[in-house]
Each structure stands twice: as structure tokens, then as C-alpha cells.
Structure 1
Amino acid sequence: MTLIASSEWYASSTLWTTVTTSVVALSVGALAAWATLRSTNPKRRLSYHLRENVALLDIETHAVRLSVSHGDTQLRSPRIVELVVKNSGRRDITSAQFHDGDPIVFDLQSRVVALISVSAPSTTIAPEPVVDATKLLVGPSLLKSKQEVSYTMLVDGEVEDVRCTAPLTDTHISRTTEDGDRLPPPLVKILGGIAVLGIFLFASEFVEKFIPLQGRAPEQHLEWSQIRQCAGLPEVTSIDQCEDVQKVLRQPGPPAPTP
């Protein structure tokens, strides 16, 4: 089967201009709608991170000579841990957001021996926590927008991670660094960027190799396999050049010797 290169749908510059314009318009419209929705209905956000996680003893060096006790209990691996909780959104988190009145649970996975201090800006009220074995329970309480509260604890054992269970309605929970960066980086954005780059590279290659850059007469024909063959030749940039190449390839070779 033969193809008329200049009459194929993919060779129409008007078509691709229309497609490009439509995609750009839809993208801009979607972004505008998302920005409007985000500004009129800002989502509540709660973030947390460990500001301090310091061992009080070097077990290998001081295990024999030094010890730390709390009351009558000697601690095997004491450390000071400071947990920072922040309402990083633009809306207050009120007691009504705590589903069934359940508290936010921060599990340090090591026994919390004592709560040393609770600190918050003087203009706000810090939610009072409750210590429950390895867990710190916070709320229900009011957390003002951008309010930050820190809880300093004496912990017996390693603290490698903090698990958060937050029964908050319409609230996004995230663990962050001290600088406010989310952990881990959003995988969806990374994959989306790779996908967009791949589509751009594919489209560029398709436009460069398979869509004619110069006009040609309607009666000129090329097989699709011939067009694909020309796509592998960097010096061929138009259908006209591709036909010239195919003419050379179709030239008969020298006659075979007569036996």
C-alpha cells in the first residue's frame, strides 16, 4: 500500500497547530481552576519533625562509669528528643476536626520516660499532651494557622522514626525536615516530569522525522516503510529528500555475469 505524504492527516500543519493550541488552553484552564479552588478552599495541613534526638550517654564509653536514672529506675539508653508539631496550613485546626474526639498519636517506638517541657508562642495556647508508654497523645485542641508547638521528652531507647496517626478530617499530614521540606520528595511530581520530558522528546523526533518540512506534489508517493527508513538518516529532513534517496536505492545494479 502506498501513502500520499502531503495528504496524510499527520502532515497537516493546521492540525498540529490546533492540537497544540487546544492542549495549552486546556492546561492553562486546569491550572487556573486548581488555583481558584485552592485559594477559596485552602486545605488544612499538619507537619511534624524531630528537632533534637540526642543520646545522653555513649553506651560503649560510659556504660560502666556513668548511669542515668529517673526516680528509682535506671535508664539503659537515655536520650533527649524534641518533637515539633506545626499547623503549616492557612486554616486553623479546631477540636471539631478531631474525629470522635480522638487525639493525634506520635509513636516514638521507645519508652517515653517523662515529658520535660512544652513550648509555643506566647500568643497561642499549646495543646497539652499525654504520655502513654512509647506514645505522645496530643489534642483534641486548637492549633492556630502557622502555630508551632515543641514537646521535649526524656526517652529510654533508640528513636529512629516517629509514626504519626492523626484522626483529623480534611487535613493533610506530612513529616518534614526542620526547614519545612517534605519527606520523602513527592514521587508523583518526579514521575510527571519524566513523563512530560519523554512526551516532548518523542514529539520532537516524530515532527522532525515523519512530518514533511517542505511541500510536495500530490502525485508523489512513498511507502510507509520507506519513510521509516529515511527517519534513520540524519541528513534527510524532508519528504522530497526521502524520495531522492529512494530513487537512488531503486537504481538497478550492474548486470550479473553470464555463466
Structure 2
Amino acid sequence: MHVTAADAFYSSGNFWAAAAVIVALAAGGGAMWATLRAANPRRSIHVSMHETRLLRSHASLGSTLEIRRNGALLTDPRLVQVYLRNPSRRDIASSAFDQGAPLRVDLGVPILDVLGAESSPTTAQAPPAAASGAELGIGPGRIGRRSQLTYLVLIDGDPTFACRHTLIDVEVTEADLYDPGERAGRIVERAGRIFGMIATIGIVVTFLFMLVVSVAKEIFG
């Protein structure tokens, strides 16, 4: 077919052939990326904490109420919950702890006792934890996908929060305070990405449909 200068550029068969190649390459690249993403999803851990003071000043009590541990007076006792969450779609294996080194959470004040550990779902087993000075060492141990671990410790004083680790191929993020609304925010963000992908796929499918119709008209007149 001869194309004159007056013809629209999209009426050229060469244009549509090139467009088809570009769309095919883009679709193939997207499919490869999605396949690799599904086969190797990013692994991550979110570490956070929440503290509860066991003694609060009250005018009617004065200084008559005391808390002691093994006979020693605690001046500002607090219960601290340390949360580890694995929101990713893959387990974090024990081998991800480089040379068996634990993930360390530094609370800034000595940890007096490790009171317990819980996991959600309850069928999962929380990795072992041990206190050393102001640090809580967690692991090594398997952390299941989409699971949450909770460690309860007793301290005496105002805590800080810092996390150190040598985990392999695991992104670790931390927050000063456990935020129940964070999960809702992640769900909204994920839903936005999904809707964006659906919209992109819809545009590509529409373009391909228009391309097929145009090529069919070109071939069959």
C-alpha cells in the first residue's frame, strides 16, 4: 500500500507492525517481571515495640505502693512488648541469620526478665529469645510468612529502641511504637498497586484489540 504525505501516520502498515512489536515486547517483559516477582518475592521484617508502665503517680497512694523483683525495689518498672512481623509471602528461614547471629533489639535499659513469647498464627513457633544487658536477641529460627511474633520483657526505666541485624536478603524496618493502623495502610497501598496494574492491563488489552481490528481491516479490506 502506497502512503502519501496527506495520509495519517497511523494508516501506515509499518506503523502498526512496529506498534505490535513494541506492545509484544512490553507485554513479554511485564510477564517475565511478574514471573520473577512471584518466584522471588521480597522478604521483610517489621520490628516495633509497645511499653506499659506498671506504676503511675496517684495522689491517694502517695509512695505506699512498691514493686520489687527478687527483693530489689523497682523505681519505674515497665512491660515492653517487642513485635516482629513478616508481611511477605515467603518464610524467613533459620539460614537467613548470618552465622547464626540473632536479630538484636536494644531497649537502652537493662532487661530484667524475658517473660514470654507468642506467635500468630498460634501454630507457628516463635524463635528463641534471650536477654543480654539492654539487648533482646531473637533467633535464629524460622519466621513464617505473614506471621507476627510478640516477646514480652520486664525493664526498669524509660526505654529507647534500636534494631541491629545481619540477616541475609531480608529488609528490616523499625518503628518506635507499634501502630495497629499500619497494617490498614499497607492494605490500602497494596490495593492501589493492584488497581493500577488492572488499569494498565486494561489499556494494553484495549490497544491490542484495536490493533487486531485495524490489521483485520487492512488484510480483508
Task: Give the TM-score, by structure 1 length.
Answer: 0.54
Identical aligned residues as a percent: 27
Structure 1 portions without partners, runs of 5+: 1-13, 184-259
On the 8 A contact 2:104/2:138 being kept in 1, the answer is: yes
Is the aligned partner of 1:157 residue 2:157? yes
Q: Distance in 2 between matches of 1:129 and 1:73?
A: 24
Aligned CA distance change for structure 1 residues 96 and 63 (closer, same or farther; 3 Å): farther
**Which residue is 2:201 aligned to?**
none
Aligned CA distance change for structure 1 residues 34 and 114 (closer, same or farther; 3 Å): same
Q: Which amino acid aligns with 1:40?
A: A
**Which residue is 2:181 aligned to?**
179
Q: Post-superposition shift, 1:96?
A: 0.8
Q: Which amino acid aligns with 2:164?
A: T
Q: Distance in 2 between matches of 1:115 and 1:63?
A: 30
Is the aligned partner of 1:106 residue 2:115? no
Q: Post-superposition shift, 1:29?
A: 8.2
Q: Distance in 2 between matches of 1:73 and 1:79?
A: 15
Q: Which amino acid aligns with 2:162?
A: R
Q: Post-superposition shift, 1:49?
A: 1.9
Q: Which amino acid aligns with 1:127?
A: P
Q: Distance in 2 between matches of 1:156 and 1:31?
A: 54
Q: Post-superposition shift, 1:58?
A: 1.8
SS of aligned partner of 1:37: helix
Q: Which amino acid aligns with 1:175?
A: E
**Which residue is 2:73 aligned to?**
74
Query: RMSD across aligned C-alpha pairs, in angstroms?
Result: 3.1
Q: Distance in 2 between matches of 1:48 and 1:151?
A: 11
Q: Post-superposition shift, 1:127?
A: 0.9
Q: Which amino acid aligns with 2:53?
A: A
Q: Which amino acid aligns with 2:138?
A: V
Structure 2 portions without partners, runs of 5+: 1-8, 10-14, 187-221
**Which residue is 2:126 aligned to?**
126
Aligned CA distance change for structure 1 residues 29 and 88 (closer, same or farther; 3 Å): same
- Give 1 or 2 for the bigger CA radius of gyration: 1
Q: Post-superposition shift, 1:36?
A: 4.0
Q: Distance in 1 between matches of 2:66 and 2:26?
A: 63
Is the aligned partner of 1:56 residue 2:58? no
Aligned CA distance change for structure 1 residues 112 and 124 (closer, same or farther; 3 Å): same
On the 8 A contact 2:83/2:150 being kept in 1, the answer is: yes
Q: Distance in 2 between matches of 1:145 and 1:58?
A: 39
Q: Distance in 2 between matches of 1:163 and 1:32?
A: 40
Per-residue Cα deviation, 1:51-88 (whole angstroms, up to 9, x for no partner): x4111112575662222111121111111111111222
Q: Distance in 2 between matches of 1:33 and 1:64?
A: 68
Paired residues, number: 163
Q: Distance in 2 between matches of 1:79 and 1:103?
A: 24
SS of aligned partner of 1:180: helix
Q: Which amino acid aligns with 2:151?
A: Y
Is the aligned partner of 1:170 residue 2:169? yes
Task: Give the TM-score, by structure 2 length.
Answer: 0.63
Per-residue Cα deviation, 1:136-190 (whole angstroms, up to 9, x for no partner): 101111111112111111111112x42111211000111253333589xxxxxxx
**Which residue is 1:39 aligned to?**
38
On the 8 A contact 2:128/2:140 being kept in 1, the answer is: no
Q: Distance in 2 between matches of 1:86 and 1:69?
A: 33
Q: Which amino acid aligns with 1:147?
A: S
SS of aligned partner of 1:65: coil
Aligned CA distance change for structure 1 residues 134 and 47 (closer, same or farther; 3 Å): same
Q: Distance in 2 between matches of 1:157 and 1:88?
A: 31
Q: Distance in 1 between matches of 2:43 and 2:129?
A: 21
**Which residue is 1:92 aligned to?**
91
SS of aligned partner of 2:182: coil
